[in-house]
Amino acid sequence: MSALARVWQSDIAWSFRHAPVAMVAALVFAVLVIASLAAPLVAPHTPFEPGSLNLMDGFTPPMGEGMGSGSVFWLGTDDQGRDVFSTILYGMRLSLMIGLAAVALAAALGVTLGLIAGYVGGWIDALIMRVADIQLTFPSILVALLIFGVARGLLPPESREQMAIWVLILSIGLSEWVQFARTVRGSAMVEAKKDYVQAARLVGRKPSAILFHHLLPNVLGPVLVIATISLALAIIAEATLSFLGVGAPPTRPSLGTLIRIGQDFLFSGEWWILLFPALTLLALALSVNLLGDWLRDVMNPKLR
Amino acid sequence: MATPPAPDAAATPDAPLLEVEDLVVEIPTRRGVLKPVDGVSFTIGRGEILGVVGESGAGKSITGAAIIGLLERPTRIGGGRVTLAGTRLDTMDENALRRVRGARVGTVFQDPSTSLNPLKTIGEQLAETALAHLDVSRREARERALRALVDVGIPAAAERLDAWPHEFSGGMRQRVVIALALIGEPELVIADEPTTALDVSVQAQILALLRRLCVERGVGVMLVTHDMGVIAETTDRVAVLYAGRVAEVGPTRDVLTGALHPYTRGLMGATPDASPERDSRDRLAQIPGAMPGLGAVPSGCAFHPRCPEAMSRCSAERPRAASREDTRVWCWLHPPEEGVSPDGRSTSLRGTRR
Amino acid sequence: MSTPDDAVLVEVERLSRRFDVSSAWLNRIVRREPRRILTAVDDVSLRVRQGETYALVGESGSGKSTIAKMIVGLLAPSEGTVRIGGADPTGARGAALTALRRRVQMIFQDPYASLNPRWRVLDIVGEPMRVFGLARERREVARRVGALLEQVGLSADDTAKFPHEFSGGQRQRIGIARALASEPELIVCDEPTSALDVSVQAQVLNLMRDLQGDLGLTYLFITHDLSVVRYMADTIGVLYLGRLVESAPRETLFTEPAHPYTRMLLDAAPRLDGFGRRHATDGGEVPDPIRPPTGCHYHPRCGYRVAGCDERYPPVRDIGLRTVRCFEAERVLAASRPDAGRANGADAHPPR
């Protein structure tokens, strides 16, 4: 049986096919991801090339005709004449990129620290876990803000805007490693006691080899679930930071930035500038979250 | 307190205490119906210890669970009868079964640390059980609890009555579990690997205790184990299980020294022995292959692919029960005799069943 | 079978191992508790000859697994030395340590925990080969692994499979193949068949005996099962609460035990022909290893106890082919001797 056929017939695939929520969530997520990846191809306009903008197009309602260029804007335009649909596509792209990168950073850091803490134990374990505990007492947004502020302060002013994205990734990533570390530490502690680890020690393998070749493949199970939920959190965190004005700049906005911009115009009647980015953000975060929930339930050995 | 369903007045003193006939346990799955127990029959008399022996996956624990209705959904009884002193257990609803458990059937499980509630004292647990199943006052219940502890050999029982489970050693805890099983004055005790988690020196004590108490009180015992040595020393009769079916059931000495079924013979040959008498450096006999998993039980006799004496009939038809003296065996090497009723029971009065 | 002239492969001298099982430092200070030290192994000395099977027998708390770990080098002794073929692994470094590691391997008890579930059989069995430089290229490793698998009764095609595709007995065979991969001289077997069914156990034990004959292996066999010991061992050491109470060749131990605990253990072990046998139990259990009895640990349960057994730890004595640590060994032996040729019956303890 080919690998693909085996996956399709596996227990996980079976429960996926029988969980309507998961299927819908996966569909929505897939559509959003593909749309954002293909933004340069799909977007009808290029809202971030200043030369392509026509101020007279500004404040066009959804499905309306721009007074300047005469094109139809599906979701309307903002105050500068930017096509809302296109800005959403590019914004979502940025949101996803930052979210994925932050989760990757958090996972790499958290899994490594968790492995070390679980296998070595002793004071190293205590140290890592205390740092984790301290970090957990603060809301993650606050931590992200803190790291963001410190990083920004360390950078020379010229590169601040350029580096905004990287700083964003760093701060969100550093605020999320704890969940990974805790879970992996638990699994690592259990696996480290098993005889196959003793057998590896007996042969004389170095601790680093044992951690990465023996333990890592066996602790990755729950990591996927945490990563999915972390992605939803990262996207929201990024949106929050951008909304607060400390995230992605208006010249390269993410969904959060768009929401902030749109907020100014909500009560003057141009509701579409806020609503559509907000709905997109909701769809993105919710679909990832639901997928993560389903994945966690399906991977729970007790329910299997 | 409602009394448990009374034994059938028609059950005579000579009739066996527990009769299991063609018991089937099934598990419906996506891939079809699996049968961890597929047509198991045996009896247990009063004051008799029946060993149920088999390797892992043979279905011995599930048989015990099925008898007292402790199967977890979707596992369920799929056929056959279980009769305790005339009362049908397999058709009982959960409420009635709950009254049977403890009052008419006691249980002893393998792990004493999970059989006892860590948050209650030993005395509390014993007294509660007595109150639940017997018509006694609280004071009487506590007295019975004390007597129960003395009976199972706990030293300084009066002080230990208020001790917590974690203050007892493994062997002591298992004695308490036996006391709990017997305090409701049951007619039958099902003991599932009661000594497997204990050291060998304690094992001997616990088995001797179980034997003494049950035989004294006329309580029948179903002793599930994988250890042939335990079977030899503790049981009166033994049922050998393989892949959810019975290979043979009969008096222990007969089955162990003169096994009829090739599987039993193979098992005996493969078991090393510590007895100083025997020259046990002879090579252990090996049964090639392994017991089939639930979804892969062979047609006909489940053992035939591994059997050194398999015939063509063995792969085609499931063996029917035959009686040889006091043993019942399911093997085409011992076909039911002519002049035998269609379900394989001997028409002679000798044998485990009429 | 080995003869007394065979070289000694493993020399254990006065081995001890203590564990600090006190509560956490702060808790201890607040509650004013003393430190609690668990002596898991106490002054054990033994010799294993090349090519023989030495069985270490004991119940829970006997320290047998701890001794095994010290012999293979997974645990450092608190006191005493272990020498493999004359070389001492503690303090060895670099190439010397690697060379020593190659000579000693281990087979573990739990077939479901002793193989990495995410690794293929090829990698599991091939790891020692790669580490010790016995084979480097993929094809060479595959060839050798295939040969080893055949040797343990599996097929060379099994190299690409994962552990979960095998039964418990087959997994144990894979574990044996892995132990053989470095071409060791000594294999320490920690309850290798305790988790297996009887018929599977027979297959694995027979395999181990065959391999011993073919490859000249020496086994240190840890177990609690006396019937397996009877089948496999040449020499047997009996452990009680961390101490080696008796050590003797197999038949000597089984027919003429000289220590009361050995007698009790032999009597307690169930026998296939023991129909309705009454055991002469001493009614006791292994005490808490953290607070063992004073003097000879066995004295509270012992039917041969005399004054002084609760004060001093008996010294090692050689009586015939055996070594034993008991003040009353002669009396025990005398009780055992008339029974030699009959089963050790109901008087494991003389009336007190």
A195/C contact by beta carbon, under 8 A: yes
Give contacts of B278 with chain C, Cβ < 8 Å. 273
Residue A241 lies in a domain: yes
Among candidates C248, C235, C238, C240, which has minimal Cα distance to C323?
C248
Determine the pLDDT at residue B273.
86
| Closest Cβ opposite residue C131 in set A195, A196, A203 | A203
Residue C311 lies in a domain: yes
| Closest Cβ opposite residue C255 in set B232, B274, B276 | B276
The two structure tokens encoding residue A219: 């602790």
Among candidates C86, C90, C95, C85, which has minimal Cα distance to C74?
C90
Q: What is the mean pLDDT of residues C224-236?
A: 93
More confident residue, B177 or C283: B177
CATH number of the domain bearing residue B304 = 3.40.50.300
| Closest Cβ opposite residue B200 in set C59, C169, C342 | C59
pLDDT tens across B84-117, in order?
998 999 888 888 998 888 889 999 988 888 889 9
For residue C111, the chain A residue with the least C-alpha distance is A195
DSSP string, C296-339: STTGGG-TT--TTTTTSPPPPEEETTEEE--TTHHHHHHHHGGG
What's A210's DSSP letter?
A: I
* Angle formed by the axes of helices A272-299 and A20-37, nearest 10°: 130
Q: Are residues C123 and C219 in the same domain?
A: yes
Contact C344 B285 (CB under 8 A): no
Q: Are residues C317 and C344 in the same domain?
A: yes
| Closest Cβ opposite residue C274 in set B170, B232, B285 | B232
More confident residue, A298 or B309: B309
CATH number of the domain bearing residue C160 = 3.40.50.300
Position B343 pLDDT exceeds 70: no
Question: In angstroms, what separates the C-alpha of B266 from chain C's closest C-alpha?
Answer: 8
Determine the pLDDT at residue C351.
43
For C53-76, b where at least 16 C-beta lie within 10 A, e where not — what string?
bbbbbbbebbbbbbbbbbbbbebe
Contact C72 A202 (CB under 8 A): yes
pLDDT tens across A34-51, in order?
888 887 777 777 777 777
Residue C4 lies in a domain: no
* Structural domains in chain C (count): 2
Q: What is the mean pLDDT of residues C289-296?
A: 89
Contact A196 C114 (CB under 8 A): yes
Confidence of residue A129 (pLDDT cuts 50, 70, 90): very high
What is the pTM (predicted TM-score) of this model?
A: 0.85
pLDDT tens across B174-194, in order?
999 999 999 999 999 999 999
The Cα C183–Cα C204 span in angstroms is 19
What's B86's DSSP letter?
A: T
Most A CBs within 10 A among C127, C176, C180, C220, hence the mutation to make, goes to C127
Determine the pLDDT at residue B345.
52
Give the count of alpha carbons within 13 A of C232, CB side only: 35
More confident residue, A276 or A298: A276
pLDDT tens across A192-213, in order?
999 999 999 999 899 999 999 9
pLDDT tens across A259-282, in order?
888 888 888 888 888 888 889 999
Pick from A260-274, B111-125, C225-239: least confident: A260-274
Residue B296 lies in a domain: yes
Residue B215 lies in a domain: yes
Residue C56 host element (H or E)? strand C53-57
The Cα C254–Cα C227 span in angstroms is 11
More confident residue, A77 or C137: C137
Dihedral sign for Cα atoms in the order B256, B262, B264, B265: positive
Dihedral sign for Cα atoms in the order B9, B15, B16, B21: negative
Question: In angstroms, what separates the C-alpha of C184 from chain A's closest C-alpha?
Answer: 11
Give contacts of A204 with chain C, Cβ < 8 Å. 97-98, 101, 131
The Cα B170–Cα B178 span in angstroms is 13
Dihedral sign for Cα atoms in the order B102, B106, B109, B113: positive
The Cα C234–Cα C116 span in angstroms is 33
Q: Are residues C192 and C276 in the same domain?
A: no
Residue B351 lies in a domain: no
Determine the pLDDT at residue A4.
67
What lies within 8 Å, CB to CB, of C49 at 6+ separation is C2, C4, C6, C7, C8, C9, C218, C235
Position A60 pLDDT exceeds 60: yes
A196/C contact by beta carbon, under 8 A: yes
Q: What is the mean pLDDT of residues C252-277?
A: 90
* Angle formed by the axes of helices A272-299 and A221-243, nearest 10°: 160
Question: In angstroms, what separates the C-alpha of B284 from chain C's closest C-alpha?
Answer: 6
Contact C113 A194 (CB under 8 A): yes
Q: What is the mean pLDDT of residues B2-18?
A: 57
A205/C contact by beta carbon, under 8 A: yes
Contact C270 B232 (CB under 8 A): yes
Residue B66 lies in a domain: yes
Position C268 pLDDT exceeds 50: yes
pLDDT tens across C11-22, in order?
999 999 999 888
Residue A59 lies in a domain: no
CATH number of the domain bearing residue A262 = 1.10.3720.10
Q: Which chains touch B (3 or more CB pairs under 8 A)?
A: C
Most C CBs within 10 A among A195, A197, A212, A223, hence the mutation to make, goes to A195
Position B83 pLDDT exceeds 90: yes
Residue A7 lies in a domain: no
Determine the pLDDT at residue A9.
63
CB burial of residue B135 (10 Å; 0-12, 13-18, 19+): exposed
Contact B290 C200 (CB under 8 A): yes
Q: Chain C 181-200, CB below 8 Å of chain A: which residues?
A: 182
Residue A14 lies in a domain: no
What's the mean pLDDT when you consider all of chain A? 84
Residue C296 lies in a domain: yes
| Closest Cβ opposite residue C264 in set B201, B203, B232 | B201
Parent domain of B68: 18-272+285-330
The Cα A91–Cα C99 span in angstroms is 61
Q: Are residues C73 and C195 in the same domain?
A: yes
What lies within 8 Å, CB to CB, of A280 at 6+ separation is A32, A88, A91, A92, A255
* Structural domains in chain A (count): 1
Q: Are residues C262 and C191 in the same domain?
A: no
Confidence of residue C348 (pLDDT cuts 50, 70, 90): very low
Contact C114 A199 (CB under 8 A): yes
Among candidates A211, A208, A206, which has minimal Cα distance to A189?
A211
Contact B281 C254 (CB under 8 A): no
Q: Are residues C70 and C194 in the same domain?
A: yes
Most C CBs within 10 A among B48, B168, B199, hence the mutation to make, goes to B199
Residue A88 lies in a domain: yes
Torsions phi, psi for C224 (to 5 deg)? -115, -5
| Closest Cβ opposite residue A195 in set C98, C114, C132 | C114
More confident residue, A247 or B234: B234
Among candidates B83, B302, B100, B67, which has minimal Cα distance to B190?
B67
The Cα A19–Cα A52 span in angstroms is 45
pLDDT tens across C149-176, in order?
999 999 999 999 999 999 899 999 999 9
Parent domain of A148: 24-44+75-299
A204/C contact by beta carbon, under 8 A: yes
Question: In angstroms, what separates the C-alpha of C284 from chain B's closest C-alpha?
Answer: 8
Q: Strands A72-73 and A64-65: what pairing? A: antiparallel
Torsions phi, psi for C81 (to 5 deg)? -130, 155
A150/C contact by beta carbon, under 8 A: no
Confidence of residue C6 (pLDDT cuts 50, 70, 90): low
CB burial of residue B315 (10 Å; 0-12, 13-18, 19+): middle
Most A CBs within 10 A among C116, C134, C174, hence the mutation to make, goes to C116
Q: B260, B89 in Cβ contact below 8 A?
A: no
Q: What is the mean pLDDT of residues C18-38?
A: 82
For C108-126, b where at least 16 C-beta lie within 10 A, e where not — what string?
bbbbebbbbebbbbbebbb
Question: In angstroms, what separates the C-alpha of A204 from chain C's closest C-alpha?
Answer: 7
Position B9 pLDDT exceeds 50: no
A260/C contact by beta carbon, under 8 A: no
Which of C217, C240, C263 is where one domain is finished? C240
Determine the pLDDT at residue A3.
64
Residue C109 lies in a domain: yes
The Cα A135–Cα B174 span in angstroms is 47
Position B10 pLDDT exceeds 50: no
Most A CBs within 10 A among C118, C119, C125, C220, hence the mutation to make, goes to C118
Determine the pLDDT at residue C67.
95
Question: In angstroms, what separates the C-alpha of B256 from chain C's closest C-alpha?
Answer: 8
Q: Are residues C141 and C219 in the same domain?
A: yes
Question: In angstroms, what separates the C-alpha of B133 from chain C's closest C-alpha?
Answer: 31
* Structural domains in chain B (count): 1
C45/A contact by beta carbon, under 8 A: no
| Closest Cβ opposite residue C113 in set A196, A200, A202 | A196
Question: In angstroms, what separates the C-alpha of A217 from chain C's closest C-alpha?
Answer: 6
Position B6 pLDDT exceeds 80: no
The Cα B122–Cα B179 span in angstroms is 10
For residue C120, the chain A residue with the least C-alpha distance is A214
Determine the pLDDT at residue C339.
59
Q: Are residues C211 and C301 in the same domain?
A: no
Contact B204 C279 (CB under 8 A): yes
Parent domain of C331: 255-352
The Cα A160–Cα A143 span in angstroms is 19
Residue B95 lies in a domain: yes
For B70-88, b where at least 16 C-beta lie within 10 A, e where not — what string?
ebeeebebbebebbbbbbe
Contact C274 B267 (CB under 8 A): no
The Cα C301–Cα B91 span in angstroms is 50
Pick from B320-334, C231-245, C272-286: least confident: C272-286
Q: What is the mean pLDDT of residues A292-303?
A: 73
Q: Residue B1, Cβ neighbours under 10 Å: how many? A: 10
Q: What is the mean pLDDT of residues C101-126?
A: 93
Most B CBs within 10 A among C205, C209, C273, C288, hence the mutation to make, goes to C273
